[in-house]
Amino acid sequence: MYTKTVEESLKEVCSTEDGLKSSEAKKRLEQNGENVLPPKKQKSKIARFFSQFADIMIIILLVAAAISIAMAIIQKDMENMIDGIIILAIVILNAIIGYVQEIKAEQEMKALLSMSEPYCKVMRDGEVKKVLSKDIVVGDIVVLEAGDIVPADLRLVSSANIKCDESSLTGESLAVEKDHNFVCKENTPLGDRKNMAYKGSVVTIGRAHGVCVATGKDTELGKIATMLSEADKSLTPLQKSIKMVGKVITIIVLIIAALTFGLELLLKPNGSVIEAFLTAVAISVAAIPESLPAVITIIMSIGVGRLSKKKAIVKRLQAVETLGSTEIICSDKTGTLTQNVMTVRKVYYNGDVQETHSVEDIVFFTLLKTMTLCNDSAYSQKGYVGDPTETALVDFSDIYGLKKVQAEADNIRVAEIPFDSNRKMMTTLNEQEGKFVSYTKGGTDEILKHCTKILINGSVQELTSQDKKSIVAANKEMAKNALRVLAFAVKNVDYNNGQKLEEDDLTFVGLVGMIDPPRKEAVSAVKKCKKAHMTPIMITGDHAITALAIAKEIGICENEDEVLTGAELDELSDEEYLKIINKIKVYARVSPENKVRIVKTFKSLGKIVAMTGDGVNDAPSLKTADIGVGMGITGTDVTKEVADMIVTDDNFATIIVAVGEGRRIYSNIKKTIGFLFAANFAEIFSLLLATIIYPALRFLLPVQILFVNLITDSLPAIALGMELPEKDIMNKPPRKSNQTIFANGMGIQMLIMGIVQTACVLTAFSIGNMFNEDIATSMAFYTLNLVQLVYMLSIRTSYFAFGKDMFKNKWIWLALGVGLVILAIFAFTPVGTIIGLKVVSGMEWLIILGLTAGMFVISEICKVVLRQVYRDK
């Protein structure tokens, strides 16, 4: 409709300027439906609970549990039954933790959702009526006034000095002036369609009537919502790693099963095939780290809890870890990097840009009065409301003690000439104690055309050509720095009631330059991004010059070669864009489709991409990114709905805190997996080799293996997940998206330490076998437990990474203490007999402790060597 005149638009929707009849509106509502966006299909609680089981590790555990229970039924062996039941309990506990965390995040998110104005005013039956916004239909004439939220897409049919804040839709930080007489060309960008008012935007000043041309999903807002439904979330880096771990475990289990089955048949030729198969299955089940999924879920849940206290709500557990992998942070400018509040930055008077001001200076005081009185903003309990430019002016005056309410009471407005796009000026006439003064503001060029004098250094003088050059130069310098510049002038008037107000023979007072400034914390946040080897990218719907100025100020880019507009991006093919993407740091005047393309292109290069934003226009790219970060205060409902994480204080720096937490979580999960895999390797190798070397002896009972997996292994694994962050964690580059858990020597370390632990356990078993089989089994059991408890200390990062903080993780020492106490109870009390243990003598304990100490020394040497080898990788 933006390409049609008012008359053509009304004809298109079969309406008139008097609106529809109520009967016709009811008929259209029944035919076309309510003016609402299609609701997002929600999973049922049951479906959400069972979705927690859609993980390869969980599936492996379910299969293991099923095999254990089946074996128990076949063999009539309660130990296998208990094993299967415990594995099932762990799986269910893991699902409950994940489910509760999702529900909790959803409830917190719902509590944040802002309430939109549900009513609006329309012309029906020739009169103004108040109706629910959802009941608007195409053809309705909607009445707009300052402060109204536009309820649908409207083609304006009449307007008076109206401006709309479309920042949530387009990213444009300034309110956009509207004109019903304007007719746009085909393919005019959304932000430049002056004859349209779009659903979700806010009227900041003026009034208008508009005919509804689109409702619900057919609005520009609705089209964005449709794009959201088409965007799918890819697996997070951690999910990919865990999926790979699951595949590795599956392969290992199958290999072990085949080896064990073959060895049983080879070493026990008189044994039955069924018995060999059951033994192979039993050892295979022992190879699975049952506690791993639950431990990972607990680690992430604790991290989410920590972030919640730091004003970041995580809706998906895996999302917080993804932040730690982020290489590219694409951030919206307006409201995210900037304050979304226009602020006076530069003031020119007395022939120069002044750094300090005093109300004792008559020129500055006159400038403040002009800024305050030639102004239509109004004071409310939440501060000044109105056009952002005008509220910036009165906020500035407030700082110097000139309050708008008091100024207007002392200087009564008696006449005015409203701002219009042709004159580009606004004038008010105010009366104080019988004297009349006109106050004018507008574009610098227009104001200078109407000025003949200048107020300078306290006196009124003729405006010379040199004065004009100085003013024009100051105006250009401000504009070059992306400031929006307004000029101000005054005039003493002999006024009679009804007399026409003239805008001539004015006295120039000064210039004011304004901008939506960066958030105070944005500069340091960008520095931290770069220090952490992440690339911050600004993406905005604002003009290139404004975006460049802000980006320079906060350190995102240095020159205009790093800026690309949406129009320029549209002209590039995918191949051409790939060649320059790493050079571009700022994208200006972009559409929602442009934002999605930017994110997808970075992802195609294997980058992990985070996208922050608060407006509706940010929502599709938030969903497309690996992690979408929404703003809790200024964020729209649509943005909060699709975001993976919501920053409740709208603070960009909070995102950096979350990145650090994500890196900490991944580091701890990596240590946990390293610990559990080394422990399970030790069990597997010990069982296999003991079967080969001592085929006639019992090595470890199934209940003893279960004890190690669920008690000895689980406590250290959880403790490792509580590790404090390494002191240099935010100085390292993020890991690559294709980097696995086993990278940088972790896989080699797990294998070596599994072999070393196996050697310790088999040595203990061999020495114990010199006494008897029961002592051998007990010594092997105690050694296996002790080497794993001590290995927990070794797998931690060194003192050089933690400093003194490495001694502050009380959970590590608590896990060690509890583990030793439990082991002592089983070793020195009759409790041990429950799982088939015997009392071990002092000499035998010395052998066990010696083997454990040797393992610790070898582990430390291995760690140092591997760190040296992989230091530069």
Q: Which residues of 94-112 are buried (b: 16+ CB within 10 A; e: fewer)?
A: bbebbbebbebbeebbeeb
Contact residues for 587 (Cβ-Cβ < 8 A; gap 6+): 537, 538, 539, 540, 547, 563, 564, 565, 566, 569, 594, 595, 598
Q: How far apart are the first and last CA of the chain?
A: 58
Q: Write down the pLDDT at residue 747.
A: 80
Q: Write down the pLDDT at residue 695.
A: 79
From CA 592, how far away is CA 743, in angstroms rounded?
37
Q: For strands 563-565 and 535-539, give the pairing.
A: unpaired
**Cα Dmax for the chain:** 123
Q: Write down the pLDDT at residue 102.
A: 66
Q: Write down the pLDDT at residue 871.
A: 60
Burial class of 719 by CB neighbour count within 10 A (0 to 12, 13 to 18, 19+):
buried
Please name every residue paired with 211 in a beta bridge, in sequence order, or none if there are none: 141, 155
Q: Write down the pLDDT at residue 246.
A: 66
Q: Write down the pLDDT at residue 39.
A: 63
Alpha helices in 214-272 (DSSP H): 220-230, 237-267
Q: Write down the pLDDT at residue 117.
A: 43
Q: How many CB atoms lie within 10 A of CB 351?
A: 16
pLDDT along the chain (873 residues), means of 10: 91 92 93 79 76 71 76 71 74 75 60 53 90 92 86 92 81 80 88 90 87 91 66 60 70 78 78 69 66 75 82 78 86 80 94 93 96 89 81 94 94 89 88 93 94 95 95 93 93 84 94 91 90 92 87 92 93 94 93 89 92 77 87 74 83 84 85 84 84 81 75 81 81 79 78 89 92 90 90 65 58 82 87 82 87 85 74 53
Q: Write down the pLDDT at residue 110.
A: 54
User: Is residue 490 a contact partner of residue 509, using CB atoms and an 8 Å limit?
Assistant: yes
User: Is residue 539 a contact partner of residue 370, using CB atoms and an 8 Å limit?
Assistant: no
Contact residues for 180 (Cβ-Cβ < 8 A; gap 6+): 6, 156, 157, 158, 159, 195, 208, 210
User: Is residue 349 a contact partner of residue 367, using CB atoms and an 8 Å limit?
Assistant: yes
From CA 685, how far away is CA 665, in angstroms rounded?
30
Catalytic residue annotation: 332
Q: Write down the pLDDT at residue 367.
A: 97
From CA 765, how far away is CA 773, in angstroms rounded?
9
Q: How many CB atoms lie within 10 A of CB 32?
A: 13
- Which amino acid would we find at residue 472? V
Q: How many CB atoms lie within 10 A of CB 126?
A: 9
Q: Write down the pLDDT at residue 667.
A: 85
In the structure encoding, which two tokens stand for residue 26, read together?
Answer: 């009811």
Q: For strands 141-145 and 119-124, give the pairing.
A: antiparallel
Nearest CA among 119, 124, 118, 147 for reference residue 211: 124
Contact residues for 383 (Cβ-Cβ < 8 A; gap 6+): 391, 395
For every residue of 82-102, DSSP letters joined together read HHHHHHHHHHHHHHHHHHHHH
How far, in Å, are 338, 526, 555, 761 from residue 522 at the CA level? 8, 6, 9, 55
Burial class of 317 by CB neighbour count within 10 A (0 to 12, 13 to 18, 19+):
buried
